[in-house]
Amino acid sequence: MRRRNVAVFLVASALGLVFGLVCFPPTHGIGLGKGFARDFSNVGLAIAALGAGAAMGVRASRAKGRQRLSWALLAASAASWGGGQTIWAIYESILGKQPFPSAADIGYLGEIPTIVAGLLLMPNLPSRAAGRLRVLTDGGLIAASLAMISWTFLLGEQLHTPADSRLAQVISIAYPIGDIVSASVALFVLSHAMRTRDVSPWVVLLITGGVVGFATSDSWFAVSNLHGTYYSGSPVDIGWFSAFLLLAVAGLHRSTGEASHSPAATRTATAFALVVPYAAVIAAITLTAAEVWIHHRLTMSQSVCALIIMILGAIRHVLATQVNQRLRRHLEARVQERTRELATSAARFTALVTHSSDVIFVLDPSGRVTYASPSVHEIFGLDTASLDDAPFARLLKLGEAALVLEEIAAAAGAPYSTRTLSFALRGGDGRWRQTETVVTSLVDDPAVQGLVLNCRDITERSELEAQLVHQAFHDVLTRLPNRALFRDRVAHALVAAPRHGASVAVLFLDLDGFKAVNDSLGHDAGDQLLLSAAQRFEHVVRPGDTVARLGGDEFAVLLEDVAGADEAGEVGQRLIEALAEPFVISGRPILVGGSVGVALAHALDGSSPGASMPTTEELLRNADLAMYRAKANGRGGIAHFEPGMHASLVARVQEEADLRAALEEGQLRLEYQPTYRLADGALTGVEALLRWDHPVRGLVPPNDFIPLAEQTGLIVPIGSWVLREACRQAVEWAADGRGAAGLTLAVNVSARQLQNDGFADIVAQCLRQTGLAPDRLVLELTESVLLEHDEVTVATLRAIRASGVRIAVDDFGTGYSSLSYLSRFPVDLLKVDRSFVDRLGDGESESSALARSIVQLGHSLALTTVAEGIEQPDQLRALQAMGCEYGQGFYFAKPVRPEEIAKMIAAPKAPPQGSAPASERALAL
């Protein structure tokens, strides 16, 4: 674009130079001659004007709207003049005539209105009236100035010069007037268009240059003509030619518009535009003054022009003042608005900083406080004045200060970096507040020149976090470490032990009888007991040892540095002894015991550190196993872990799996042992006894697997199966119709079954489904059920008994159950334990006295008595003598398969009598 413009300019300059050389008077003498110059000029000017018209016409075809019309008019004006010049060239160079006026003048004069119209259309006029007035004043000033100049040098004389005709007179005056108008409009457009930037300044300059140049040449021509010095091909023609070249260049110029909109270009253009009208005025006054000075006369017209110029100048001044005032008001309003905005934003900033929940400190790079936001008082209780220029380190903990200052120094070295720190800050009350602080380095920011610390008080959050962590690792009730923390400590101890050459011991303690306290006195009492026990345990261990509550009534102790098993055992003993004193809960003394299991991890001599140390899980499991052994050994005992325990655990696990499979795979079955009425030997009932036909071990007696079933809870489904199967069997015997209808069915029930909420329902459902009458069912419970009774058990028994089912206490006399228990429990039968029956028949001994008193007790409580394990006729006789009502035992029959019972029912026969005489036999049965 720019290159093209330069090329156009260079070509135009070359053409101008050639034309100038031909028309330059001294060159006429070097052979070209005046005639050649005349013809060359005539043709050259026509071509130049028509060429300029063509260039601007092309530009018009590319432009849009007003610009298009403007360029078209400019093109038409050049073409019009070109047309006039062509006619003139024909007259002068071909026909050798110089007529005036002639057809050529039509073309020449046609140039003036078209160029004025084209120029006026070029820029946008201001929309405001004041703006328009100012533009017009400018135009008027220019026009008046030019008119004054023209009058002084040309018009005044022209008017007084006689002409051939009136038309000639008018036309010769029309030229200078047209020049004044077109030059004025051109300068006015220049001044206005430069300011409004509607058109490229270059184009405006070229057009103005062209038009003003043309008008000047025209006027020059008129003056030379007036004095008779003009001839075609004279230097005046150079002016015209150059003017058309400028217009042609304007038409061909391609503007980018970018550079012209830079602020510097705008300023230059505006200043230039402002100067134009005044330049015209100054030129007019200077030239007129010179003329007046030389010729000592001031014409009326000059005075009128001067007056008009003065009036317009005054108007312009007023307008300019108005504009300035408006501008000032506008600026004042803007300044006020900006001040208000700044004040609001400053107030907002201050409010934000003051009421922020964060505290903002600004430190200089050396760590001194240069600013502390007012919130420092509310949040940290610190006084802003006391902080002024104080070292920030003064607020920090000794141990943290160095690190924090190091970070702050690092931030100072990295402008605009941010980093988040967490440290404690001493509040005004001396308390430490935990903060989360974002440090932003604004050392390079001239408005701050320091480090901005955004401190947030996170004390509460940190405390809450600490509390949550504490809760996650501590038992809520006793505040002792919980299982998770205990495991963690054991793990650490095991890692540290080889380094210190110490042994680690873990003790598991389970409270004996805690469940009874919880069930009978309520959970609050249970909680109190646990809490007191925990406190006692903490008192009997060493300060470095850990006491933890693993859950329920299970506690654990970690001894991180013990000499050996003996020392660990001593601690275990102290734990048990701590329980010796009764706990006073709700004013009642309560005694609970504890069983302790001890497991050790021995430190090695260092030759192979940690080689055979157990893992955390292994050590905990060992202590657990030892505790189970301690419990099995009886209450209040200590057991040390032995490797064999693990094997027995494995066996137990295997057995449990077997037992589970036994129920599912039908390896369990029932045998029945008959019960007889001792007075007449009549078969009155049967007791269902469980049998396990183990595929490998063969027949497993119930005493070998029922305890395991009870521990694992398997007794619940097994017991339900026994009950259903026995009831079904009893109904099946009765269905034979061979006298089994009145037989009672005794079924053994474990405590665990009774503790299950739904047991009464299971019994009721069983009776309903099998159709067995409730009064034919007896449930046998061991004394331990009565001893470790709870609310659920008692309620279940009551419900069952209310349905008509009877309850028997099995193995009575072995469990130390007291009379009070018997009277409180819903019991119907007492089964005298075999151990009492065993020793009967050897005459009057201590055991026979015991058996007698049990039978008498039964009588006095209106309970039916049944003797177990009668093997000898003597025993039978003794029991008969005591008044025991029923009995069972090998003397009568061993437990047998159900078919055998069916046979017994079908053909009742006398049981074997042993050595008893026939008469006694009759008596016995």
Which parts of this chain interact with ligand C2E (CB under 6 A)? Answer: 673, 688-690, 701-703, 706, 719, 722, 748-750, 780, 810-811, 868-871, 888-890, 895
Q: Residues touching Mg ion: how many (CB under 5 A)? A: 5
From residue 368, alpha-carbon distances to 137, 174, 393, 435, 609 in Å are: 66, 86, 8, 19, 54
Residue 869 interacts with which of ligand C2E, Mg ion, none, CB < 5 to 8 Å by class: ligand C2E
Amino acid identity, position 593: G
- Closest separation in Å from C-beta 763 to ligand C2E: 14
Torsion of CA 412, 415, 417, 420, to 10 degrees: 20
| Six token digits for residue 783 | 């004394």
From residue 290, alpha-carbon distances to 215, 227, 283, 348, 594 in Å are: 22, 21, 11, 68, 135
Residue 722 interacts with which of ligand C2E, Mg ion, none, CB < 5 to 8 Å by class: ligand C2E
Residue 594 interacts with which of ligand C2E, Mg ion, none, CB < 5 to 8 Å by class: none
Residue 706 interacts with which of Mg ion, ligand C2E, none, CB < 5 to 8 Å by class: ligand C2E
The CA angle 329-276-114, to the nearest 5 degrees, is 115
Residue 770 interacts with which of ligand C2E, Mg ion, none, CB < 5 to 8 Å by class: none
3-state secondary structure 424-493: EEECCCCCEEEEEEEEEEECCCCCCCEEEEEEEECHHHHHHHHHHHHHHHECCCCCCECHHHHHHHHHHH
d(Cα 183, Cα 204) in Å, to the nearest integer? 13
From the CB of residue 374, how many other CB atoms can be counted at a distance below 10 Å? Answer: 15
| Six token digits for residue 551 | 């859950």
Residue 70 interacts with which of Mg ion, ligand C2E, none, CB < 5 to 8 Å by class: none
d(Cα 181, Cα 112) in Å, to the nearest integer? 8
For Mg ion, the binding residue among 811, 828, 871, 900 (CB under 5 A) is 811
- Closest separation in Å from C-beta 741 to ligand C2E: 23
Q: Residue 232 or 756: which CB sits closer to ligand C2E? A: 756
- Closest separation in Å from C-beta 676 to Mg ion: 15
Site track for Mg ion across 99-138, x = CB under 5 A: ----------------------------------------
Residues 713-752 that bind Mg ion (CB under 5 A): 748
For Mg ion, the binding residue among 39, 510, 780, 885 (CB under 5 A) is 780
- Closest separation in Å from C-beta 771 to ligand C2E: 21
- Identify whether the C-beta of residue 550 lies closer than 8 Å to the C-beta of residue 482: yes
- Identify whether the C-beta of residue 820 lies closer than 8 Å to the C-beta of residue 852: no
DSSP readout, 575-617? HHHHTTSPEEETTEEE--EEEEEEEEEPPP-SSSTTTTPPPHH
Q: Residue 439 or 745: which CB sits closer to ligand C2E? A: 745
Max distance between CA atoms of the chain, in angstroms, equals 196
Q: Residue 105 or 655: which CB sits closer to ligand C2E? A: 655
- Taking contact as CB under 5 A, which single stretch among the options 313-321, 359-367, 591-599, 779-787 is the one that binds Mg ion? 779-787
Q: Residue 210 or 869: which CB sits closer to ligand C2E? A: 869
- Closest separation in Å from C-beta 610 to Mg ion: 54
Q: Residue 89 or 749: which CB sits closer to Mg ion? A: 749
- Closest separation in Å from C-beta 632 to ligand C2E: 18
Q: Is 810 in the site for Mg ion (CB under 5 A)?
A: yes
- Closest separation in Å from C-beta 582 to Mg ion: 34
Residue 673 interacts with which of ligand C2E, Mg ion, none, CB < 5 to 8 Å by class: ligand C2E
Secondary structure class of 241 (helix, strand, coil) = helix
Q: Residue 358 or 868: which CB sits closer to Mg ion? A: 868
Residue 595 interacts with which of Mg ion, ligand C2E, none, CB < 5 to 8 Å by class: none
- Closest separation in Å from C-beta 655 to Mg ion: 23
Q: Residue 655 or 868: which CB sits closer to ligand C2E? A: 868
Q: Residue 811 or 874: which CB sits closer to ligand C2E? A: 811
Residue 703 interacts with which of Mg ion, ligand C2E, none, CB < 5 to 8 Å by class: ligand C2E
Strand pairing class (777-782; 806-812):
parallel
- Identify whether the C-beta of residue 879 lies closer than 8 Å to the C-beta of residue 854: no
Q: Is 838 in the site for Mg ion (CB under 5 A)?
A: no
Q: Residue 158 or 782: which CB sits closer to Mg ion? A: 782
Site track for Mg ion across 746-765, x = CB under 5 A: --x-----------------
Residue 774 interacts with which of Mg ion, ligand C2E, none, CB < 5 to 8 Å by class: none
Residue 828 interacts with which of ligand C2E, Mg ion, none, CB < 5 to 8 Å by class: none
- Closest separation in Å from C-beta 868 to ligand C2E: 6
Residue 702 interacts with which of ligand C2E, Mg ion, none, CB < 5 to 8 Å by class: ligand C2E
Q: Residue 689 or 745: which CB sits closer to ligand C2E? A: 689
Residue 871 interacts with which of Mg ion, ligand C2E, none, CB < 5 to 8 Å by class: ligand C2E
From residue 219, alpha-carbon distances to 110, 165, 181, 184 in Å are: 16, 21, 12, 13
d(Cα 732, Cα 726) in Å, to the nearest integer? 10
Q: Residue 295 or 897: which CB sits closer to ligand C2E? A: 897
Distance, first Cα to last Cα, the chain: 141
- Identify whether the C-beta of residue 288 lies closer than 8 Å to the C-beta of residue 149: yes
d(Cα 550, Cα 622) in Å, to the nearest integer? 15
Q: Residue 183 or 700: which CB sits closer to ligand C2E? A: 700
Q: Residue 151 or 692: which CB sits closer to ligand C2E? A: 692
Helix, strand, coil shares, percent, the chain, to 5: 60, 15, 25
- Closest separation in Å from C-beta 866 to Mg ion: 9
d(Cα 603, Cα 614) in Å, to the nearest integer? 10
Residue 642 interacts with which of ligand C2E, Mg ion, none, CB < 5 to 8 Å by class: none
Q: Residue 15 or 689: which CB sits closer to ligand C2E? A: 689
Residue among 186, 195, 212 nearest 134 (CA): 195
How far, rounded to the nearest angstrom, does the alpha carbon of residue 433 sit from its chain's CA centroid?
Answer: 26
Residue 179 interacts with which of ligand C2E, Mg ion, none, CB < 5 to 8 Å by class: none
From the CB of residue 547, how many other CB atoms can be counted at a distance below 10 Å? Answer: 23
What is the CB-side half-sphere exposure of residue 93 using CA atoms within 13 A?
A: 21
Residue 291 interacts with which of ligand C2E, Mg ion, none, CB < 5 to 8 Å by class: none
d(Cα 655, Cα 700) in Å, to the nearest integer? 12
Q: Is 702 in the site for Mg ion (CB under 5 A)?
A: no
Q: Residue 534 or 916: which CB sits closer to ligand C2E? A: 916
- Closest separation in Å from C-beta 647 to ligand C2E: 26
- Taking contact as CB under 5 A, which single stretch among the options 329-337, 523-531, 632-640, 864-872 is the one that binds Mg ion? 864-872
The CA angle 191-194-199, to the nearest 5 degrees, is 125
What is the CB-side half-sphere exposure of residue 383 using CA atoms within 13 A?
A: 3
- Closest separation in Å from C-beta 790 to ligand C2E: 18
Angle of helix 2-23 relative to helix 33-62, nearest 10 degrees?
Answer: 160
Secondary structure class of 254 (helix, strand, coil) = coil
Amino acid identity, position 479: R
Q: Residue 209 or 681: which CB sits closer to ligand C2E? A: 681
Residue 561 interacts with which of Mg ion, ligand C2E, none, CB < 5 to 8 Å by class: none
Beta strands in 325-374 (DSSP E): 358-363, 369-372
Q: Residue 107 or 889: which CB sits closer to Mg ion? A: 889
Give me the residues that bind Mg ion (CB under 5 A), please: 748, 780, 810-811, 868
